[in-house]
Amino acid sequence: MALAAESAGERSAPDFVALTSIPPMRPGSGGSDPHQRNIPQALGSFVRNGFRVVSVNRASEIAGLEKAYPDVAFREDRRDAVFPGRYGATFGALFDIGATADFCGIINADVYLVPSGVRELLQAHPDTFFVARRSDVDLNAGGMLGTYRRGIDAVFFAARRHRALVEDTRIGRLQMGAPFWDIVVPVVASFHAPVTFLAPPLILHPVHATNWSRPHYAVVREAASRAVYEHALRIAPENTQARIFLDIVEHFIGAGRAPRGRRQVKAVARVIDAWLERIEARSTVDVEIDLNDPVLRETIGTGREGYALIDAEHAARDSRDAARGWWPYWQIRLALRRRRRARQQGKRDRVFAEAEARAARSRLS
């Protein structure tokens, strides 16, 4: 997909900041915390791409982190959070700092940015909100695993051009390290501006165990679903995309009803997820990357074609079933699951198409 260039503004030397939340040192680890092992290389990759790095943390975490990361600027997070004292920085604090720069990236601290044309792309399209999925790397077995499609690990945008997003206090309570921020933030952005995915492999990530719990997942899902719903409801009278979103949500939870209870909250969360998937299917671009980057070459070889093969194989697997083996019972179960998902996807696609058609007719009337 090609993008038409937008005005890049008048400043000849824009300020680019990479915002993250470095996890605190674990007690008793000293300077050899394995949790921190890949972070210096990851943050260094953003510096080499022309970003200055700022980590947003709680006051109690900063002193220890400053000693371990002397080249990183640290800022205190004083915003209200879904989980006070747990997980990473709030998006309210990240947005506050991002708004002081021309362009910002919000990144997980352990993702590696391949040398690329991200800065040039941001300058050419300052009104676009860019989203990147990570490519997982197995550091123990070696080599690339493929694209992680259950979440987002980096977004790039000009915060001052996305005021409706960054000034929403409900969105601002979400936190890095906790689930759901990664789909909620770009979905809300899409109500107000173009959202475009950057094709992998752009950011690389070493696989590790998740750090959030299932009970917390449910809490954040409810907070995130209501935040997006309320944002859309507030702007719907003047915003076509928000009206389409509400139309789709109401198909599943009923007209004029805010999401209440676990079933309705899950329905809204599924719409949010499907909304982002449709954006990805419709708007994904290749950004120029350095295929000779040594970290990238170690994992995919010398070209994007190698990654395409790896990613296709990765997408064809279902790790939850593969872990149990490929006995006939699990093969049948996997086939039935895929068939059920295909039916559900078909139903969602029809609901989305009908909502978009109604919005189009409304504009013409």
Q: What is the 3-state secondary structure (H, E, C) of 111-180?
A: CEECCECHHHHHHHCCCCEEEEEEEEECCCCCCEEEECCCCCCEEEECHHHCHHHHCCHHHHCCECCCCC
Element holding 85 (H helix, E strand): none
* pLDDT given for residue 346 in this prediction: 83
Q: Is 281 left (phi over 0), alpha (psi -120 to 50) or beta?
A: alpha
C-alpha span between 49 and 274 (Å, rounded): 32
Of the two residues 163 and 29, the one the predictor is more confident about is: 163
Least confident of 59-63, 202-206, 338-342, 355-359: 338-342
pLDDT digits (tens, 9 = 90+) for 287-330: 999 988 988 887 776 566 667 777 676 666 544 444 445 456 65
User: Does 16-211+279-316 carry CATH code 3.90.550.10?
Assistant: yes
| pLDDT surpassing 70 at residue 66 | yes
**Given a cut of 50, is residue 8 above it in pLDDT?**
no
- Taking only the tens place, the pLDDT of each residue in 117-150 is 999 999 999 999 999 999 888 766 567 778 888 8
Strands 103-107, 144-147: pairing is unpaired
The percentage of the chain sitting over the pLDDT mark of 90, rounded to a whole number, equals 62
Residue 341 has pLDDT above 90, yes or no: no
Residue 201: asked if its preceding bond is cis (omega within 30°), the reply is yes
pLDDT at 303: 61
Averaged pLDDT of the chain = 86
CA gap 184, 190 in Å, rounded: 10
pLDDT recorded at residue 198: 97
Mean pLDDT on 85-95: 96
Residue ranges of domains in the chain: 16-211+279-316
